[in-house]
Chains A and B, each alone.
Chain A
Amino acid sequence: MNPTVVILLVGSCVAASCALVGAFLVLRRMALLGDAISHAVLPGIVIAFLWFGSRSTWPMVLGAAATGVLTVFLIDLLTRTRRVRSDAAIGVVFPGLFAVGVILAHRFAANIDLDPECVLYGEIALAPFTDLVIFGVDLGPRALWVSAVILAIDLVVVLALYKEFELTSFDPALATALGFSPVLVHYVLMSLVSVTVVGSFEAVGAILVVAMLIVPPATAYLLVDRLAPMLALSVAIGVADACLGYGIAYHYNASIAGGMATATGIVFVIAWIASPRHGLLRQFLGHRRLRRSFDAQIVLLHLKDRTLPMSRDNLARRFGWSHTRIDHAIATLRTDGAVDGDDAALRITSVGERALEAAGTAPLAHEALP
């Protein structure tokens, strides 16, 4: 297989599985737990590696999953004492476990092919060159198998427990009352996160995996309003980020993991600015439109209660507005036919009076005028 194709496929599988489980972390406001798990699984990987004496994948995945669940358990334990808040508990537990992992890796595993650098930063560029061989049959790139199997596990579990994930994320109290254990579902989700994170180490490494877990779902959250579309869009955005990231890395001859994480950031910022529902641009335009319609109404109100026409300059002075602002308001009103006369003598028309009535605005009391 073409190495580029392998890298893109592995990157896409990793991004898709991260986005799928990461979406629930985002919705449960547990984004940092993903970061914690991605680091704290290191000792699990090293112990599994030492125990089984090989770099075969599945013992490591299981070792990591076990440490991931242990991490979550320890954090819960600390939080439940109420003397340590949850963010501090995360800060206490994961560096501790990670440090144990670093020591174990350097002390026992450095000389036998488990490279901490590789775990931290990932080395997806090497993915095409290690094949999976079972009973002497070469089945193709190992990383591709691993990431595809993990994606399949995530898909199956999320599809099977979609309703449970949804309910326990939205309303854990109701879930408990209905007989669904939020704690059990929480641990299932955390096991999935752990497995997914280990699977993605080869692609992006422990440091950047959190970008793949959190940023594509956070992007999708800005764009859609329902859970199922959000999951689908998270996965699609994750895959697009992975491919775009490879392009960036290829173009600048830089780290692929770095490229992919950068791509998630770029796509997020675009969505943040341009989202049709919640984007900055939309907010800005909405505010501006609202302000302009208020401005026009205020001018109309003042004209309405005058028997004599008013000049543009007089109005601007009265309101303390810039010339641009008063001109905008007058232009809007002229277009609607709500005022007539030139800038020196503006007068409200019958159209303008009706518009004011329709808006339901009470006329300003005369004593309130300066």
Chain B
Amino acid sequence: MPGEPPRTDAPAIEVHDLTVAYRTKPVLWDIDVALPEGRLIAIVGPNGAGKSTLLKAILGLVPAVTGWVKVFGEPYEKRRSWVGYVPQRESVDWDFPTTALDVVTMGLYGRLGWFRRPNATHRDLARAALDQVGVADLADRQISQLSGGQQQRVFLARALAQDARLYLMDEPFAGIDVTTERAVLGLLQGLRDRGRTVVAVHHDLQTVADYFDHVVLLNMHLVDSGPVETTFTKDNLTRTYGGRLTALSNAAEALLERRPSRPKG
């Protein structure tokens, strides 16, 4: 594994005046946000709010109409090796003829560059990453034979193998069982405790305050961004979800009451 990357004083992610459109339909409008290093950060907002698009724009997967993104003070292209990406589970074909170990090894391809092939060392790294997420025994399984939770773990292992400083995850908690959810949360907190930054698109408002340190509230526009304690408020949630929040506001209130008992991470 490469050593600790040199420190920078720049925020993990800095987004300035970012507007993204699919054809003529804008998805993100003039987003200005800076995300601090070493935090667990949730991106929250209703369907179609542009949450995934924001991640993809940071990674350069979708072009920006205007604005720029910097990762640790530099354009993403210069920081690729610092960033690990966990796409939505449904974004790939799980019937592809490949094994869990092969998929995790793909996380190391960026380090290899063009033409070079992975060798035994890389496969050992991949195996160690699978071990970290608790599915080392499934290394040689064809990926369609894995359960949803196991597939999510394989995706996480692939990101871990990248040994990145910033992780961008598209709904890492979607469609997994309670055991896996706890395991995934443990992993993310472990990363945060080692000074890594995790930015995750998150759907479950009930768990935002328990799982994350920092929240970005998004609904095409940036509603607010900041520490969960001060930003994840009923007022902000109403502004993010509009009238649709009635059912959810009770949940938010319950959380605000519960927060004082939450141990500080």
Contact = CB atoms under 8 A, between A and B. Distances in A.
A17 B92 CA distance: 27
Interface in A149-193: 160-164, 166-167, 169-171, 173-180
A261 to B, nearest CB: 24
Give the interface residue-count category, chain A.
Answer: 20 to 34
B117 A180 contact: no
Nearest to A159: B117
A171 B106 CA distance: 9
B91 A225 contact: no
Contacts of B77: 179
Interface stretch (B9-17, B95-103, B198-206, B215-223): B95-103
A177 B102 contact: no
Contact of A177 (B61, B92, B117): B61
Interface stretch (B29-37, B108-116, B225-233, B251-259): B108-116
Nearest to A27: B96
A49 interface: no
B103 A170 contact: yes
A119 interface: no
Top 8 closest pairs, chain A to chain B, by CB: A178-B110, A225-B142, A177-B85, A177-B59, A230-B97, A171-B92, A170-B96, A173-B87
B139 interface: no
Residue among A166, A173, A174 with the highest chain B CB neighbour number at 10 A:
A174
B107 to A, nearest CB: 8
B234 interface: no
Interface of B: 23, 56, 59-61, 77, 80, 83, 85, 87, 91-93, 96-99, 102-103, 106-107, 109-110, 112, 114-118, 142, 158
Contact of A179 (B61, B110, B115, B118): B110
Nearest to B142: A225
A175 B106 CA distance: 9
Say what secondary structure dominates the interface of chain A. helix
Given A171-B92, A174-B87, A179-B80, A227 B98 contact: yes
15 contacts: A27-B97, A163-B117, A167-B109, A173-B61, A173-B85, A174-B85, A176-B60, A177-B59, A177-B83, A177-B110, A225-B142, A226-B99, A226-B142, A227-B96, A227-B102
A178 B142 contact: no
Interface in A68-86: 82
A169 B110 CA distance: 16
B113 to A, nearest CB: 8
B93 A177 contact: no
B98 A166 contact: yes
A368 B108 CA distance: 57
B109 A170 contact: no
A178 B77 CA distance: 9
Nearest to B103: A170
A272 interface: no
A50 interface: no
A175 B60 CA distance: 12
A118 interface: no
B92 A170 contact: yes
Contacts of A229: 97
B114 A164 contact: yes
Contact of A161 (B61, B93, B115, B118): B115
B116 to A, nearest CB: 8
B96 A169 contact: yes
Contact of A227 (B60, B97, B115): B97
A267 to B, nearest CB: 18
Given A82-B23, A163-B109, A179-B80, A171 B98 contact: no
A177 B109 CA distance: 11
B132 to A, nearest CB: 19
Nearest to B162: A178
Contacts of A161: 115
Residue among B85, B103, B116, B158 with the highest chain A CB neighbour number at 10 A:
B85
B105 to A, nearest CB: 9
Given A162-B117, A226-B97, A174 B102 contact: no
Interface in A187-232: 221, 224-227, 229-230
A275 to B, nearest CB: 13
A29 B95 CA distance: 12
B102 A226 contact: yes
Given A161-B115, A170-B106, A173-B59, 9 more contacts: A163-B109, A163-B116, A166-B102, A166-B106, A174-B158, A178-B110, A225-B99, A226-B99, A226-B142
Contact of A221 (B60, B97, B114): B97
A229 B91 CA distance: 25
B106 A174 contact: yes
Nearest to A161: B115
A177 B81 CA distance: 10
A166 B102 CA distance: 10
Nearest to B116: A163
Contacts of B117: 162-163
Nearest to B98: A227
Residue among A160, A170, A175, A224 with the highest chain B CB neighbour number at 10 A:
A170
Contacts of B110: 177-180
Given A226-B99, A227-B102, A171 B109 contact: no
Given A166-B98, A170-B98, A171-B92, A177 B80 contact: yes
